[in-house]
């Protein structure tokens, strides 16, 4: 079957199998920033924004994304540079192996979009669906706090 969806603000018309997942579609189409980790909704490495909300793309049928807007980690940066969350992760050194980071950044973007001034507890809950096996999450939490400060005074 054919579906049309928007990926990183580009309209795409693609051929899919009815039973394949959004994760499989996105990786096949070259969005390799979307990682396949557990494939069962536990690790969050495959997180993308679907109509602005972070979801595990491994558990979304590609057909379900028809007519909807998908943003992957590749779509966050613009010509002006990195997204504030990406910049904050860089500045805080919140990365070791990096595998979890695209999903973690996507979850943080959803969190800060819907709650621009989260408490530490809310930040920790916001990334509770994203597993990191290198760090103890401390740097990521710090990075999201930094991104929270960067967001202050903006219209977002």
Partner 1 sequence: MALTQLKQYLRPTTLKEALTLLQEGGKGARVIGGGIELVLFSPPAVTTLIDLSKLSLSYIKENEAGLAIGATTMLTKIIEHPAVAQYLDGVIVGMLHQVASPLLRNLATIGGSLASANPWSDVIPLFLALDAKVTLFDGKYHSIPLSDLYPTRSHLSGSILTEVLLPVPASGTAASFHQFSRTGFDVALLNCACLVKVDAGRCTVVRIVAGGTPRLGAALPTAEKALMGMELTDETIEQVAHVARESADTRDDLRASAQYRKQLTYVCVKRCLQEIRDRLAGEKQ
Q: Which residues bind partner 1 (CB under 8 A)?
A: 1, 17-21, 24, 40-42, 44, 47, 50, 53-56, 58-61, 63-64, 66, 107, 110-111, 114, 125-126, 128-130
CB of 22 to partner 1, least distance (A): 10
Rounded to 10 degrees, the C-alpha dihedral 50/54/58/59 comes to -80
CB of 81 to partner 1, least distance (A): 26
CB of 125 to partner 1, least distance (A): 7
Which CB atom, from 54 or from 143, has the smaller least distance to partner 1?
54
CB of 80 to partner 1, least distance (A): 27
Which CB atom, from 46 or from 143, has the smaller least distance to partner 1?
46
Which CB atom, from 91 or from 119, has the smaller least distance to partner 1?
119
Q: What is the DSSP string of the chain?
A: -EEEEEETTEEEEEE--TT-BHHHHHHHTT-TTS--SSSSSSS-TTEEEETTEEEEGGGSBGGGGTT-EEE-GGGT-BTTBS-HHHHHHHHHT--SS-TTHHHHHHHHHHHHHH-SS--HHHHHHHTTT---SSS-SHHHHHHHHHHHHHHTTS--
Which CB atom, from 50 or from 101, has the smaller least distance to partner 1?
50
Which CB atom, from 38 or from 91, has the smaller least distance to partner 1?
38
CB of 92 to partner 1, least distance (A): 21
């Amino acid at each position: 079957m054919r579906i049309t969806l928007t990926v990183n603000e580009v309209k795409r018309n693609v051929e899919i199998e009815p039973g394949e997942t959004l994760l499989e579609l996105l990786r096949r189409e070259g969005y390799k920033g979307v990682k396949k980790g557990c494939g069962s909704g536990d690790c969050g490495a495959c997180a993308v924004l679907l109509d602005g909300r972070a979801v595990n793309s491994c558990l979304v049928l590609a057909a379900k994304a028809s007519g909807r807007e998908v943003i992957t980690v590749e779509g966050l940066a613009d010509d002006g540079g990195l997204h504030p969350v990406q910049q904050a992760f860089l500045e805080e050194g919140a990365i070791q192996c990096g595998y979890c980071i695209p999903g973690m950044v996507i979850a943080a973007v959803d969190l800060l979009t819907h709650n621009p001034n989260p408490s530490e507890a809310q930040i920790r809950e916001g990334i509770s669906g994203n597993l990191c096996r290198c760090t103890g999450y401390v740097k990521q939490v710090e990075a999201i706090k930094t991104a929270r400060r960067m967001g202050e005074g903006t219209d977002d």
